[in-house]
């Protein structure tokens, strides 16, 4: 079965008397060890899609299943536990704390898992080593380049070995070389760790390095293509509902 399935999800926002339909019945199925790139212009719904797939935002209708579990049938507490255990996030603005070293940044989410301090430190160092920044573990964000900051953010998301990694515009603030390093790291996360990696962007430079390209516009999926050229199968809402009977 796919690792992550969205079936006919919709989302709208109301401002006064104006209702904006952001997602209009999107359905897709994502596999483990896959880097899926969601491309689309600003306002296309890609960031809203990412938030719903990751369990941060509830859809108005439709279903999201991760590891065979319906996310939005969980209580808030259980959903938070699921995200803590199974998901990692990488954001456009890095979201690093100015006063913390690179090592402390990566250790931070591991502390919530209740692991021994020595284990947390070892896991954080191993994650920094994987993104090539173990030698800079003692530095703070002001001492790091933009590309290094983003790789620290990836190390932080990667440290707990999540099954899902969600990246929102991870290369928008980076030049071509650093952007390529970041997407290569995300690809390695999918291949080596078996994670499902979902990256939303308007940066078409990333397309050549993704396993799968999903083009969205106006809240709908325009195309869903694997790099081999074969169309990735969409999951119909009826088929998904049948799988959960």
Give the CATH number of the domain where residue 126 resides: 3.40.50.300
Give the pLDDT score at 147: 86
Q: Tell me whether residue 245 is in a domain.
A: no
pLDDT digit string (tens) for 41-64? Answer: 888 899 999 999 999 999 999 999
Q: Is residue 8 part of a domain?
A: no
The string of pLDDT tens digits covering residues 209-233 is 889 999 999 999 999 998 754 334 4
Query: What is the pTM for the complete model shown?
Result: 0.85
In angstroms, the CA 5 to CA 27 distance is: 8
Residue 153 is assigned to a structural domain of this protein: yes
Would you say 185 and 178 are in contact if contact means Cβ atoms under 8 Å apart? no
pLDDT at 234 over 50: no
pLDDT tier, 129 (very low <50, low <70, confident <90, very high otherwise):
very high
The domain total for the chain is 1
What pLDDT score does 228 carry? 59
How confident is the model at residue 244, as a pLDDT?
Answer: 41
pLDDT in tens, 58-83: 999 999 999 999 998 999 999 999 99
Share of the chain above pLDDT 70, in %: 93
Domain assignment present for residue 101? The answer is yes
Asked if the model's pLDDT at residue 181 lies above 60, the reply is yes
**Residue 229 CB neighbours (<10 A):** 6
Q: Provide the residue range defining the domain that includes 129.
A: 32-57+75-231
Q: Does the residue 64 lie in any domain?
A: no
């Amino acid at each position: 079965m796919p690792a992550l399935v969205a079936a006919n999800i919709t989302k709208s926002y109301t401002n006064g008397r104006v209702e904006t339909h952001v997602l209009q019945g999107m359905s897709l199925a994502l596999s483990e060890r896959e880097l899926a790139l969601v491309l689309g212009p600003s306002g296309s719904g890609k960031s809203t899609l990412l938030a719903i797939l990751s369990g941060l935002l509830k859809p108005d209708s439709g279903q999201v299943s991760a590891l065979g579990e319906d996310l939005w049938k969980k209580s808030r507490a259980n959903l938070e536990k699921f995200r803590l255990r199974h998901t990692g996030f990488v954001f456009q603005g890095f979201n690093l704390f100015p006063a913390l070293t690179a090592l402390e940044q990566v250790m931070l989410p591991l502390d919530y898992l209740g692991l021994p301090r020595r284990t947390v430190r070892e896991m954080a160092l191993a994650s920094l080593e994987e993104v090539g920044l173990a030698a800079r573990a003692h530095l703070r964000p002001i001492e790091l380049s933009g590309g290094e900051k983003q790789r620290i953010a990836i190390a932080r998301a990667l440290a707990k070995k999540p099954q899902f990694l969600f990246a929102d515009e991870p290369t928008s603030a980076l030049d071509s070389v650093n952007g390529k390093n970041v997407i290569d790291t995300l690809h390695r996360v999918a291949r080596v760790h078996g994670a499902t990696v979902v990256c939303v962007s308007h940066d078409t430079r990333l397309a050549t390095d993704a396993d799968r390209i999903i083009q969205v516009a106006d809240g709908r999926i325009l195309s869903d293509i694997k790099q081999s050229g074969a169309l990735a199968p969409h999951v119909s809402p009826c088929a998904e509902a049948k799988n959960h009977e």
